[in-house]
Amino acid sequence: MKQRILVPLDGSPLAETALSEARLMAQVLDCAITLLHVIMPVTAERAYLFPTSRLQHDWEDYHSRAQEYLHTVQARLAEDGIEAACCVDEGFPADVITRHIENDPAVAMAVIATHGRSGLQRWFLGSVADKVFHAVRKPVMIVRPAPKNQPVVDKGQYRTILVPLDGSSIAAQAIDMAQQIGKNTGATLVLLGAVPNVTDLIMGVGDTLPLWMEEQLQEEKDRLTKYLDLTAQQYVATGGKARTRVVYGQPAEEILHACTDEKADLIVMASHGRSGMQRLWYGSVATKVVNAAAVPLLIIHASIPNEPGTPL
């Protein structure tokens, strides 16, 4: 059975920003695509105001137009040689999308578009992508639309893939997917490790860092450097391309900085992880990266028994 990539579409230009990445991932991973459109259930108010015959007519009309829209997208994908199936379902979007991802064994991952607001307000495709992101156990790619007045550029292929790692076996679950994509596209993997910044650690303990803490920081950096170098060497030995980057700083900030500095066009990271010295990958890291990254983020939902991990 050929694996499939689920792409929820509501007919908006925003949702269709996910199509470019889904098309590319389908070619890279040799997958088919399932296009999903969700019809919201009839509200109690509408059910009260209109007769059943009217509601049935409206539902059939909407269903027909949704099918027509998906078939149009399906034809566009067929021109690129990508097999696509169409599905129109009814219910609350987050619940329906989650059900299709989790219950269909053919669905290997999902690609979902997200939008945002600047400032302190939270943004994450309303609440739909947020709910799906936290509910499913399969990989999810979150795609942001290009800024206003900036044309959407079809990059054609991935060139640089950023892979944040903290040395744990949980975070390492992102490596297999990143390597698969890297080998199939010829992209270079940038393995990133972050060690807590000195300025963050001295807050509340004075103006200087105790000698024992400085030694732990250096040990942590040495550990990460050795781990990332070994991981890169093993991948290069199989024909892949990789380089490493170990920095001091907060994980989310360093991921975003490295993404820009390395000109990465994809981030692949696990949704759980830990540091060797203390908690490094905090619970808000993945959300912060999703909210600010200018490139697609592929999140691997990792889970390992008997090893502590907190969602990124």
- Domains of the chain by residue range: 4-143, 160-311
Q: What is the pLDDT of residue 310?
A: 44
Instruction: Inform me whether the pLDDT recorded for 144 exceeds 50.
Output: yes
Q: What is the pLDDT of residue 255?
A: 95
Which whole number is the average pLDDT over 229-243?
A: 97
Query: pTM of the entire structure?
Result: 0.83
Q: What is the pLDDT of residue 17?
A: 87
pLDDT band of residue 140 (cuts 50, 70, 90) is very high
Write out the CATH class of domain 160-311.
Answer: alpha beta
Instruction: Inform me whether the pLDDT recorded for 279 exceeds 50.
Output: no
Instruction: Inform me whether the pLDDT recorded for 116 exceeds 50.
Output: no
Report the share of the chain in percent with pLDDT over 90: 51
Q: What is the pLDDT of residue 250?
A: 87
The superfamily in CATH containing domain 4-143 is HUPs (3.40.50.620)
What tokens appear for 258 in the block?
A: 């490295």
pLDDT band of residue 124 (cuts 50, 70, 90) is very low
Q: Which of 144-148, 252-256, 307-311 has the lowest mean pLDDT?
A: 307-311
Other C-beta atoms closer than 10 Å to the C-beta of 121 total 7
Instruction: Inform me whether the pLDDT recorded for 114 exceeds 70.
Output: yes
Instruction: Inform me whether the pLDDT recorded for 309 exceeds 50.
Output: no
pLDDT band of residue 3 (cuts 50, 70, 90) is very high
CA distances (Å), origin 298, targets 11, 140, 148, 159, 188: 23, 6, 23, 15, 16
Which whole number is the average pLDDT over 78-105?
A: 95
Q: What is the pLDDT of residue 83?
A: 97
Q: What is the 3-state secondary structure (H, E, C) of the chain?
A: CCCEEEEECCCCHHHHHHHHHHHHHHHHHCCEEEEEEEECCCCHHHHHHCCHHHHHHHHHHHHHHHHHHHHHHHHHHHHCCCCEEEEEEECCHHHHHHHHHHHCCCEEEEEEECCCCCCCCCCCCCCHHHHHHHHCCCCEEEECCCCCCCCCCCCCCCCEEEEECCCCCCCCHHHHHHHHHHHHHCCEEEEEEEECCHHHHCCCCCCCCCHHHHHHHHHHHHHHHHHHHHHHHHHHHCCCEEEEEEEECCHHHHHHHHHHHCCCCEEEEECEECCCCCCCCCCCHHHHHHHHCCCCEEEECCCCCCCCCEEC
The rounded mean pLDDT for the chain is 82
Which whole number is the average pLDDT over 192-213?
A: 64
